[in-house]
Amino acid sequence: MMRLKTLGARLVIATIVPLLLVTAMLYPIFRTHLEARLDSSRHGATTLLNAEYDALLHDMNESFNQVLAVAELPILRRHLRNVREGVALKDREDTLEQLAAMLETLVTHFGRYTRLVLIDTTGEELLEAGSRLLPYPTGTRYAQTGVFRGTKRLPPRGLYISAPRLGESRREGKTVTTAVIDIATPVFGQNGQRLGMLLFTLDWHYLTASLPHAIDSGEGVRAVMVDDQGKWLLPNTEEGLRFGDSLADRYPKVWHDLSSQLQGEILLDDDLLLFRTQDIRTAAESNKAGTIVTPPASQPWQLGIVVPRPSLAGLLAESPWQIAVLGLIYLLSVIVGVLWVLSLHRQRYLRRQAMEFSREAQHLSRESQQYAGEVQDLYENAPCGYHSLDSDGRIVKINRTELEWLGYRVDEVIDKWHYRDFVTPDTRAAFDDAFRGVLSAGQEGGAECVLMCRDGTRLPVVIQATAQVIEGCFQYSRATVFDLSERKQLEARLAEQAMVDPLTGLWNRRYLKGQAAKEMARACRRGTSLSLIVIDLDHFKRINDTHGHDVGDLVLQSFADTARTQLREGDILCRMGGEEFIVLLPDTAPEQAMQVAERLRLAVSATPVEIETDVVATVRLAYTASLGVARVAPDEASLEPAIKRADEGLYAAKNAGRNCVHWYAG
């Protein structure tokens, strides 16, 4: 879960980072592009602004010149002089009609004028073109108007320009309320006498509407025109700006920038505003006016052009393929980022797995080393011997246990000894057989052998060997060797126990039988005599009955001890059963045997048995034995005939009163 969270976070980063990188890469390009577009827009707007400025100036100057030209018309002067001099109407009717017709023509010819008025020096209207034909006086007084007051002291060719204001205008025969501007000039006679003034009222919107900028081209180009106070001088806009509204109130920031410099540009949110100042009082180079005066705070005007500010969205919207390419770039960058992260994630996963495997391998290696060490230890110190032989029987490997048995160092043995050389010659055949078995198809073999150790001792062993074969090729034999010493000793002990009488420690009947055959063969071979003595203790039943069976046993043991002292090495003393014994005397003639028998009899009778009793501390119990002696004939197949003869002698001894020796020749 933790890994998935991490992957999720990395994927988010892999998505965001490429987007940021691509954006950072593309941003300067688009910025340069936008700057170029902005320059282009700026250039276009400047051109448009200049055209606007020139057009307005041209129209205004044209109107100024027309006003001035009309003011200098002789017919106008004559009319004013006639009025001033009180010439009767009928005498100046022609002049008046001509003047009225001319002014009427001026109004109708130039659609920009809404009113042409002739005013005398007292402020009384003398004539208004179009509205009233030949009025005199019209009854309208201008004495209190700003126009009259601003114009009445102007020198010849002086102009008074009012601020644009709302007024009435006739359009297509209807009177409408629209923005107007007054232009007035004094009229002087030939002799410089002030005769009156001429007032032209212009339809301001008609004038400004004819300007090139004012026509919304549909490309978002708009005009801006305010006076010195920030009063909106253009027709109502879609944004809700109406003629006369205060731009300073609606857009204080724009107004601040606009009013703080004569010309420049303002970067709006979505638009670019270029502006310049037009002061009609000083900018009218191409008119014929002398002095131009305006009401306070009505000049200068700020003229501006608002063009859409190039934007990234607009730039892209121009060509859909750009959006497609851009989208593709972003998509590719995100894909690359995601693939990169996935690749890193995969690499990290594989690295982690490799480390885990490595750790596991190290762990296993440590375990296997430990295991190998344990196996080596078990191999070296096993309670049995291990060795490996090559196909020639040469020792290639051997464990410490077997080396210790043999008494050699490992460097003395490996690749130097053939194992069979350690095997005693009498058991070597068995070893060879077993080794052949290992080399054969059976691939195993076993033998009981005796090893010859360095110190000369012989070590009985049993060897179990198998062949190590790889792809059908014998590599080496591997053998397990068990020490048979203890077993052999046990076997020998058991065998001996089977031949020994447990009460007296003397050989038993079975031993005698085996030894008899050997001694008889040896006597025959060497031509020596072999004699036999049969011994039976006298009245032994009585001893048992009198003193107990345990005492009887002591007597039997005492007899064995006594008899041993009287016999020589090589004589074989056996207990045949009960209280009957046989002595086989190799290399002994019957006479000598008789002497031995007599010596035995005397020793027995002279050696009583000491018995501990409850009543008396020690009781000496004397006993005797009767003995029969016989010779073992060389031609006899077994000892039985000789034993029979000796029994006959014994029988005779018993009959003779016991405790004596008898020979039976047979």
Q: What is the rounded distance in angstroms from the CA atom of residue 12 to the CA atom of residue 4?
A: 12
* Nearest residue relative to ligand GTP (C-beta): 552
Residue 134, Ramachandran bin (φ over 0: left; ψ between -120 and 50: alpha; else beta): left
**Cβ distance 460 to 489 under 8 Å?**
no
Q: Least distance (Å) from ligand GTP to the CB of residue 553? A: 5
Beta strands in 189-221 (DSSP E): 194-203
> One-letter amino acid identity for 581?
F
Residue closer to ligand GTP, measured from CB, 186 or 552:
552
What minimum distance in Å lies between the beta carbon of 578 and ligand GTP?
Answer: 3
Task: Classify burial at 300, counting beta carbons within 10 Å of its beta carbon; exposed 0-12, middle 13-18, buried 19 or more.
Answer: middle
CA 396 to chain centre: 50
Residues from 633 through 662 that contact ligand GTP (CB under 6 A): 654, 658
Give 484's DSSP letter: -
**What span, in angstroms and rounded, lies between the C-alpha atoms of 510 and 522?**
19
Contact flags string 314-343 toward ligand GTP, x per CB under 6 A: ------------------------------
CB of 499 to ligand GTP, least distance (A): 18
CB of 536 to ligand GTP, least distance (A): 5
Residue number, 488 or 654, with CB nearest to ligand GTP: 654
Dihedral-angle region of residue 613 (phi above 0 means left; psi in -120 to 50 means alpha; beta otherwise)? beta
Nearer Cβ to ligand GTP (602/633) = 602
Contacts of 462 (CB under 8 A, 6+ apart): 446, 447, 448, 449, 481, 482, 484
Closest separation in Å from C-beta 585 to ligand GTP: 23
Q: Does 505 bind ligand GTP (CB under 6 A)?
A: no
CA gyration radius, the chain: 79
Tell me how far apart the alpha carbons of residues 591 and 26 are, in angstroms, rounded to a whole number: 141
Residues 465-504 that bind ligand GTP (CB under 6 A): 503
Q: What minimum distance in Å lies between the beta carbon of 545 and ligand GTP?
A: 7
What is the smallest separation between the CB atom of 497 and ligand GTP, expressed in angstroms? 17
Q: From the CB of 560, what's the least distance to ligand GTP, in Å?
A: 11
Number of residues that bind ligand GTP (CB under 6 A): 17
Neighbours of 629 (CB within 10 A): 32
| Distance between CA atoms of residues 228 and 548, nearest Å | 165
User: Residue 196 in contact with residue 80, Cβ under 8 Å?
Assistant: yes
Strands 625-632 and 661-663, bridge-based pairing: parallel
Closest contact distance (angstroms) between CB of 494 and ligand GTP is 22
Residue number with CB closer to ligand GTP (206 or 581): 581
If the CB atoms of residues 184 and 574 are measured against ligand GTP, the closer one turns out to be 574
Q: Which is nearer to ligand GTP, 166 or 656 (CB)?
A: 656
Instruction: Enter the DSSP assignment of 282.
Output: T
Residue 181 near residue 162 (C-beta atoms within 8 A) = yes
Write the DSSP string, 561-593. HHHHHHS-TT-EEEEEETTEEEEEEET--HHHH
Which residues from 526-585 bind ligand GTP, rule CB under 6 A?
A: 536-542, 544, 549, 552-553, 556, 578-579
Q: How far is CA 476 from CA 42, 106, 463, 472, in A?
A: 100, 138, 15, 12
- Shortest reach from residue 484's CB to ligand GTP, in Å: 36
| C-alpha dist (Å) from residue 460 to 167, 412, 450, 485 | 148, 22, 4, 6
CB of 420 to ligand GTP, least distance (A): 52
Strands 301-308 and 271-278: antiparallel
User: Minimum distance from CB of 533 to ligand GTP (Å)?
Assistant: 16
Cβ atoms within 10 Å, residue 18: 21
Contacts of 298 (CB under 8 A, 6+ apart): 161, 162, 163, 227, 228
- Minimum CB separation of residue 457 from ligand GTP in Å reads 40
Q: Which residues bind ligand GTP (CB under 6 A)?
A: 503, 536-542, 544, 549, 552-553, 556, 578-579, 654, 658
